[in-house]
Amino acid sequence: MTAQASSPRTQSMDATQDDVLAEVRNHIGHLTLNRPAGLNAITLDMVRLLQQQLDAWATDANVHAVVLRGAGEKAFCAGGDIRSLYDSFKSGGTLHEDFFVEEYALDLTIHHYRKPVLALMDGFVLGGGMGLVQGADLRVVTEKSRLAMPEVAIGYFPDVGGSYFLSRIPGELGIYLGVSGVQIRAADALYCGLADWYLDSNKIAILDEQLDQMAWHDTALKDLQGVLARLAVQQLPDAPLIALRPAIDHFFALPDVPSMVEQLRAVTVADSHDWALATADLLETRSPLAMGVTLEMLRRGRHLSLEDCFALELHLDRQWFERGDLIEGVRALLIDKDKTPRWNPPTLQALGAGHVESFFEGFDRSGS
């Protein structure tokens, strides 16, 4: 980590220091995820480096705000480094246990950070990348942004606070995004409240120049908002989800995923039949168990605090590597790449409500 901050760095961090770059310019701490060849997928070492730097800057009077970004042209962060978790689990390791505990703690740190955080969401923002940005005060998307919680595709569920931020999107949009795992672009991200500002990617360099030269007058948050207001906009026309909203609110309010698939094939709502058929086809490729648990988790998440949502996700995580579909999904899509996962159960019709409910047994909503 190339830091110009006043915080000490432990020698044990040096092996991975280049995976997270840190510097302070004009009272702004800049943190860059620096694994562009891996689409900045986040590892446990990176989680620890980010946590250490944010903790140091939280009490550093020289730092007024933080900017988060990803290196390269393709991604802010394409999620957690799931391959390393798979390898550890298969060899009897506990990396997956440590990773989620510390990753969620980092995400919570950002949600509660005492100084404003600006997240530049240029390129892919998937899974664990969403966990890093959704707690930020100023979430900036570009024309290259692709946001998603795509976990159901590999037999997992949308974690990193997804049970909180997806469940609070208006109507059933968050249920749709979580259960289907589809990607959305900038206009839909603004419409869903998953981003705050749109900025052309070719203006990021100008934004950096203005951040380097800005004078601090008001609160740090207002000063940053003033810079963005000169370069960015907060709404975009023609968000595709606006037209699909009546259909999404109808289908994804149904009691369970089998009902959703059946109705998507049988019923036409607001001239959305082609979308409905394509969505039904997509859902039938996803892990039935992951979709069922995701639906239940998001509906519960609507009534839980942020901390309790993370506690619920951790409760699910502690069972998922043994009982869920993730290991098989990673095998089929990332290891063997045969793209024919053998989900358990194999179909939505074979998924019993009791099987889904069993993952939530023993969860204390107080988070204890």
pLDDT of residue 365: 65
- 66 has pLDDT over 50: yes
Instruction: List the catalytic residues.
Output: 80, 128, 151, 159
* Whether residues 35 and 144 fall in one domain: yes
Does residue 222 form part of some domain? yes
| Identity of the residue numbered 243 | A
Please check whether residue 211 is in contact with residue 227, taking contact to mean a CB–CB distance below 8 angstroms.
yes
Same-domain pairing of 98 and 203: yes
Instruction: Give the strand pairing for 20-25 and 28-33.
Output: antiparallel
Q: Whole domain around residue 40: which residue ranges?
A: 11-148+197-231
State which of 206, 231, 256 marks the end of a domain: 231
223 and 309, same structural domain? Answer: no
219 and 332 belong to one structural domain? no
> For 236-277, what is each residue's pLDDT tens digit?
999 999 999 999 999 999 999 999 999 999 998 888 999 999
- The confidence score (pLDDT) of residue 175 equals 98
- Residues 212 and 319 placed together within one structural domain of the fold: no
For residue 6, being part of any structural domain is answered with: no
Q: Examine residue 290 and state whether it is found in any structural domain, yes or no.
A: yes
Answer yes or no: do 21 and 82 share one domain. Answer: yes
Grouping H, G, I as helix, E, B as strand and the rest as coil, residue 301 is: helix
- Do 106 and 212 sit in the same domain of this protein? yes
The answer to whether 251 touches 276, Cβ cutoff 8 Å, is: yes
pLDDT of 10 strictly over 60:
no
Q: Does residue 88 lie in a domain region?
A: yes
pLDDT of residue 368: 39
Is the model's pLDDT at 108 over the cut of 50? yes
Measured in degrees and rounded to the nearest 5, phi and psi for residue 363 equal -80, 125
pLDDT, residue 344, reads: 96
- Residues 84, 226 within the same domain: yes
Q: In this predicted structure, which of 59-68, 264-273, 291-300 has the lowest mean pLDDT?
A: 264-273
What's the pLDDT tens digit per position in 130-150? 999 999 999 999 999 999 999
Ramachandran assignment for 272, one of left (phi > 0), alpha (psi -120 to 50 degrees), beta (any other) = alpha
Interval 12-16 mean pLDDT:
43
At 17 the pLDDT is 72
| SS3 category, 5 | coil
Cα gap 226→310, rounded to integer Å: 33
Answering whether pTM is above 0.95, one says no
Residue 1: the pLDDT is 27
Instruction: Give the domain CATH number at 115.
Output: 3.90.226.10
Are residues 226 and 346 located together in one domain of the fold? no
Domain count, the chain: 2
Q: Quick check: helix, strand or coil at residue 254? A: coil
Q: What is the mean pLDDT of the chain?
A: 93
